[in-house]
């Protein structure tokens, strides 16, 4: 019967590994990232998509094999809220990626970071405030005992 306990986890692990690896097999080559016909901003979003696969696959592995705690809801919400913005920030690091394509132009380099950094700061603030609340509630319960 113990094997039945692990089958769902093993299936989710397989899905997570596929989500992490397959986008790089399919896209990190001359058909996508190194395609000379592709403009830089297309590479940017392709990079973001590949990073999203790594992020989501990694979170799937973590949630599949980690234990559950009261604060797990908060941590899960935090990593989900941050996913789009973390992977958008990572997109600049893919070969040939640019924040925009002509005729669009911005005088600020890495313009997306002006959205990514404030949003991630809000996510971190929300997480910190909720942790603070948990700590206060735990302190109140200890005093009541």
**pLDDT mean for each 10 residues of the chain (145 residues):** 77 92 94 93 95 94 77 81 92 89 75 88 90 81 58
Distance CA 89, CA 44 (A): 10
The pLDDT score that the predictor gives to residue 142 is: 60
The pLDDT score that the predictor gives to residue 144 is: 55
Q: Which positions ≥6 away from 106 have C-beta within 8 Å? A: 99, 100
The pLDDT score that the predictor gives to residue 62 is: 87
The pLDDT score that the predictor gives to residue 145 is: 53
pTM score, whole prediction = 0.76
**Quick one: tokens of 75?**
């941590």
Domain ranges (residues) in the chain: 2-144
């Amino acid at each position: 019967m113990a094997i039945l306990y692990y089958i769902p986890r093993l299936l989710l692990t397989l899905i997570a590994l596929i989500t992490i690896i397959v986008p790089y097999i399919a896209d990190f080559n001359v058909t996508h990232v190194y395609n000379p016909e592709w403009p830089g901003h297309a590479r940017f979003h392709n990079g973001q998509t590949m990073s999203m696969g790594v992020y989501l696959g990694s979170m799937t592995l973590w949630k599949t094999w980690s234990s559950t705690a009261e604060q797990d809801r908060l941590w899960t919400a935090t990593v989900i809220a941050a996913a789009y913005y973390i992977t958008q920030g990572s997109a600049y690091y893919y070969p040939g990626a640019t924040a925009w394509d002509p005729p669009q132009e911005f005088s600020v380099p890495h313009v997306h970071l002006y959205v990514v950094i404030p949003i991630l700061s809000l996510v971190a603030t929300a997480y910190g405030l909720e942790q603070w609340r948990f700590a206060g509630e735990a302190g109140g319960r200890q005093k009541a005992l």
